[in-house]
Amino acid sequence: MRLGTPLLVATAAIATVTLDCASLEQVVEGVSRLAASEVGLSQVVPIRAATALPALAEATSRVMGSPGGVALGAGLEPGQAPAPADPLASDADWGELPPAETEDERASTEPSDESAEGSADDTDDSGDGEPERSATANSDDRPVLVSVAKETWIFAKPRWRSRRLGYLRAGSIVSRQPEAATHRGCKRGWYQVEPRGFVCAGSTATIDPNHPVARLATKRPGSEGLPYLYAMSRFPTPPLYGRLPTVEQQQKAEPSRPYLLRKHERLTKNADYVSPPEPDAIPELMQEGKVLPALGGARRGAATVLLGRARVRSGFALLGTYDQGGRRFGLTTEMALLPLDRTRIVKPSSMRGVRLSDEFTLPIAVVRSRHARRYVVDQASGALAISGKLVRRSALALTGQTLHRRGEIYLEVADGSWLKARKVARIDRFRQAPRWARQGKKWVDVSILRQALVAYEGTEPVYATLVSTGADGVAPHDDSHATIQGTFLIHTKHVSVTMDGDERGDEFDLRDVPFVQYFTEGYALHGAYWHDDFGTPRSHGCVNLAPVDAAWLFGWTDPQVPAGWHAALSLKQGTLVYVHP
């Protein structure tokens, strides 16, 4: 549901949904009753329901990109800020701040099977304020709770209708209180976990650190660059096995196996081939044809071999790789094995932004072309002469001065040399500080025409990089692959989450998209491992970042994701995101 009028009350439904930019099981039921005067605004900016069902029914995914796109704003003069989304006068042309939510921020869910003993408490925790923090002592022998599901939800209070704070991922281990807070609505007990919140020990979580899922999912996601090793499916798409298969089992599931192995052998000779890392030792739980445990308490029969097949244009995060009879298999985060010769191992992007300081600040130029050159002015003739090559994706500080020669625009570098404007992406500081910058808060500026993102602390830029926004440029975002414009607050952050789309001719299924930060509807800032075209519009509407940049931004913005958690939700504490032409 895309609500085009200002909202004083916003609610969202429970669902497993396909968003504009993602497929995500998420619950956010919030209520905002703030008048414009309460936040000092002259008007209330529309709050867009992030998970409302009608919009989701007609939404198409915005994560993947298509070739082509729109041209960058290379013709803008230095210091010329792009026009804002809403052409209001003077200070108002930055738009209004999204209103904060009230304490009546809630989420609800139906109790699972383990709630048979007792009934779920139907009283929400509206107005309870900050959830209790765990009092567990900081010691190595403290008791733990382990996630054994794709999502193990953490609640503000030990009851099913309490506000959701975030979730754990299979294999996540967090410290907990020694005793259950209550067994009401949860047969095995609600445990308070660190640093806050409560988890029901049941089908999605256990207090047994030796649970099979916990033993296999020991690899935790990294916080710099790609959080996992990733693989993209080739055609025909690979099978997904529930065990390390024998040659006979492989042949039955893959009748063309001999041909596909020969094809893979030829691909290994290509210059761009990326080899998988050295194989890991096969865990005892995977030896002798043992069936892999399923997530979330699901059952797999003793005869299980084939779980299914990957979809077209699918990507997977791998917890490990194992050699079985000379063939390499990768273990996905969903406890499935796929033959890596049927995939392409992802090579991380070399793109990375630059941290800014008093010594190196905006304006800057990021080299986009592989054929960019540095020029100097001959003092005698005044002509420009090539003085060297520029490294693609390197950043250079600019003076703001320009030079026009024979139809070319040149930008002056801080060291006195010059470069062609059309070979770089220029990132400038804003001309007039928006009101939220004057308040000293963190905020993120995204320019569609420049394909640039700048992170600010108040009026000071602290990080800048190139991004890929929607392929349809500055077109209206409804019914197009354009990025929505306006001011928003980040409300949900995932270390990784699945995004998929079933638009005919553009289907895809990307598991564990890294460092996802939703700011409205299905639009998010997130890392992209399936392309390396940053600086070019090509997404379905989301703001794609290189993995290193996505990781940095994820750690910098609010809400913070506590250590050991996989996601965090907050409708009132998120960092502001401003998207404009």
Structure tokens at 360: 């190196």
* DSSP conformational letter for 360: S
403 and 481: one domain?
Answer: no
Residue with tokens 């044809």: 289
Confidence band for 438, pLDDT divided at 50, 70 and 90: confident
Position 350 in a domain: no
Each residue of 168-211: pLDDT tens digit?
999 999 999 999 999 999 999 999 999 999 999 999 999 999 99
What's the pLDDT at 101? 36
Strands 395-405 and 442-447: unpaired
Distance CA 564, CA 126 (A): 26
Distance CA 154, CA 283 (A): 30
Residue with tokens 């030796």: 210
Would you list the DSSP string of 364-396?
Answer: EEEE--TT-EEEEE-TTT--EEEEEE--TT-EE
472 and 572: one domain?
Answer: yes
Q: Among residues 427, 456, 483, which one ends one of the domains?
A: 427
419 and 438: one domain?
Answer: no
Distance CA 212, CA 31 (A): 40
Residue with tokens 């990021």: 366
- 481 has a pLDDT exceeding 70: yes
Each residue of 241-259: pLDDT tens digit?
999 999 999 999 999 999 9
Distance CA 565, CA 295 (A): 17
What's the pLDDT at 125? 57
What is the length of the chain?
581
What's the pLDDT at 130? 62
297 and 369: one domain?
Answer: no
Position 117 in a domain: no
400 and 528: one domain?
Answer: no
Residue with tokens 């290994």: 268
pTM tops 0.85, yes or no: no
pLDDT average, residue stretch 18-22: 43
What's the pLDDT at 7? 29
Would you list the DSSP string of 460-488?
Answer: EEEEEEE-B-BTTTTS-STTSS----EEE
Percent of the chain with pLDDT over 90: 71
- 337 has a pLDDT exceeding 90: yes
Position 476 in a domain: yes
* DSSP conformational letter for 283: P
- 84 has a pLDDT exceeding 70: no
Position 233 in a domain: yes
474 and 401: one domain?
Answer: no
CATH of the domain at 541: 2.40.440.10
SS3 280: coil
Confidence band for 422, pLDDT divided at 50, 70 and 90: very high
Sequence-distant (≥ 6) Cβ neighbours of residue 81 within 8 angstroms: 428, 430, 431, 432
Q: Among residues 400, 427, 454, which one ends one of the domains?
A: 427
Position 356 in a domain: no
Q: 317 lies in which domain range?
A: 229-345
Query: Phi/psi of residue 438, each to 5°?
Result: -70, -15
Sequence-distant (≥ 6) Cβ neighbours of residue 87 within 8 angstroms: 93
What's the pLDDT at 162? 98
What's the pLDDT at 27? 33
552 and 438: one domain?
Answer: yes
Give the start-end residues of each E strand in 325-457: 327-332, 337-339, 343-345, 354-355, 364-367, 373-377, 384-389, 395-405, 408-413, 418-420, 424-427, 442-447, 452-457
Confidence band for 73, pLDDT divided at 50, 70 and 90: very low
CB 538 within 8 Å of CB 65: yes
Position 25 in a domain: no
**How many separate domains does the chain show?**
3
Q: Among residues 377, 405, 427, which one ends one of the domains?
A: 427
Mean pLDDT (the chain) is 82
Position 200 in a domain: no
458 and 483: one domain?
Answer: yes
Distance CA 6, CA 504 (A): 34
CB 23 within 8 Å of CB 17: yes
420 and 450: one domain?
Answer: no
443 and 513: one domain?
Answer: yes
Each residue of 355-412: pLDDT tens digit?
999 999 999 999 999 999 999 999 888 899 999 999 999 999 999 999 999 999 999 9
CATH of the domain at 405: 2.30.30
Each residue of 128-141: pLDDT tens digit?
456 766 554 444 67
Distance CA 205, CA 143 (A): 14
Return the higher-pLDDT residue of 457 and 8: 457
Q: Which of 499, 512, 516, 510 lies closest to 569, judged by CA?
A: 516
Structure tokens at 79: 């210091």
Position 296 in a domain: yes
398 and 510: one domain?
Answer: no
The CB density around residue 497, as the number of other CB atoms within 10 Å, is: 27
445 and 393: one domain?
Answer: no
